Structure 1
């Protein structure tokens, strides 16, 4: 009876998965490995062969590069932020985290549009520069603007997993390292940083995946001048109408993301050792 009850409760999830996960994936695979001739669909690898075109290679390279740089910047900014929050009083940590994730309650599009007002020709930054007597700078519709949008929108996904690891870290390991004569730098590099690597790995995955596949940020802040993989897929489905090539690009991105997840999960698992072995 219990098994029947559990299967009955799980049935809505199975139906939801079939409609919104399995069937869309099947359609993507179907269109990716076929082409239409004389009203019929035939098996073909032509869509994947088109991915070798130098034009599309530049799009993939630009997407990977911006995603990688934004991920590194999120680590450089997010780790100190998470560390500072974890060192604050327990009563204040919740408030600090709340203030940090508060902008996430706003719609993603509105947050991105706000950067257009900040980086625009008559935006906040250029207004300050002209007031101080400097010439305005052109940031909007460049790779820099897209990079800033990525870091701003995805930074919380780096801070939260690192903060979770740091806040739950065993303080006895830190005290033991200090008792053994380790200074603050050694405690951080030999104990705190190695133990927080799983959080960094998790944050890296959570930032890199949406960054490499985003199309809203590059469309708004790039103004159509910065073409990323997400924009290429959207263009094939919504503008060109070539679902076959768009599906092939989507399959390629799914494989790339799955490989990245597998690598980061393996890296995080291998790094998640007990601190006693890391102090030595």
Structure 2
């Protein structure tokens, strides 16, 4: 029986070796190699010039992960508390966008957020842009009056002729794209954990006089932390390494790690050694984050059991 299992596992081992282990091995080799093929650490030293990209990537990924958690946890909790019919409908609505190609979803948001897109057309139709121009004009007059009265130097250069709100090619658009595309990865693990909670524990807590809020704080939330940590990991990792979202919704103005790595392997700026070094550092940082989250989750589970 063991021999048969070994034979069946053989193709998977070969697949993993060719398409997972070998690429990582090549990345490590290139990261520590110069253009001439010799050993060097200069590739890592050059990364210091891109520290702004590292900071921006982790900042936007953390913001997107936090927003996904704020939206995803209540949604998963409500789904778990409702009946099977509601759960099936909610699950279909959550998974429905995932059935569409990732790039198509991102292009759809481009058409929604662009200067002549659906949102700006809606804002123009209902008069929100005109209201914004009116408020800007009022603020300009107020600041000018205060400058004359008190001798201040307040900024009065607010645009009073706006034709649209600037939404595309901004950090906010990039975060929105991350939240939209990765929110299901936050909802599903939390929903799965809450659904598997032992309801006798909740009943015991209520029988002992705990209020609904206290039951949630002391029982439900601590027991659901494994799902929360899984969701955080599943959202943060692709967010920090994305490049399609930042390129399409950020317009190249919001350069992230994924874009930076891609540029090193394409075009006239080809530098596979530097791109591999950045990739290796990013992988190590992600692995460290996952390790810390897993250790934190184990500690929380032990505390709950005690």
Give the number of aligned pairs: 271
RMSD: 1.2
Equivalent in the alignment of 2:16: 17
Q: Secondary structure at the match of 1:141?
A: coil
Deviation (angstroms), 1:23: 1.2
Deviation (angstroms), 1:275: 5.1
Kindly report which structure 2 residues correspond to 1:224-239, keeping only aligned pairs within 5 A, or say none.
Answer: 224-239=252-267
Q: 1:50 aligned to 2:78?
A: no
Kindly report which structure 2 residues correspond to 1:114-263, keeping only aligned pairs within 5 A, or say none.
Answer: 114-135=108-129, 136-239=164-267, 240-263=269-292
Quick one: distance in 2 between partners of 1:199 and 1:45?
39
Equivalent in the alignment of 1:269: 298
Q: Secondary structure at the match of 2:266?
A: helix
Equivalent in the alignment of 1:84: 78
Deviates more, 1:133-142 or 1:70-79: 133-142
Asked whether the 8 Å contact 1:173–1:275 carries over to 2, the reply is no
TM-score by length of 2: 0.86
Asked whether the 8 Å contact 1:201–1:264 carries over to 2, the reply is yes
The gaps in structure 2 that reach 5 residues or longer are 130-163
Asked whether the 8 Å contact 1:35–1:43 carries over to 2, the reply is yes
The gaps in structure 1 that reach 5 residues or longer are none
Quick one: distance in 1 between partners of 2:121 and 2:302?
51
Quick one: distance in 2 between partners of 1:217 and 1:145?
9
Quick one: distance in 2 between partners of 1:36 and 1:166?
52
TM-score by length of 1: 0.94
Q: 1:72 aligned to 2:71?
A: no
Deviates more, 1:94-103 or 1:211-220: 94-103
Q: Which of structure 1's runs of 4+ aligned residues deviate more than 6 A?
A: none
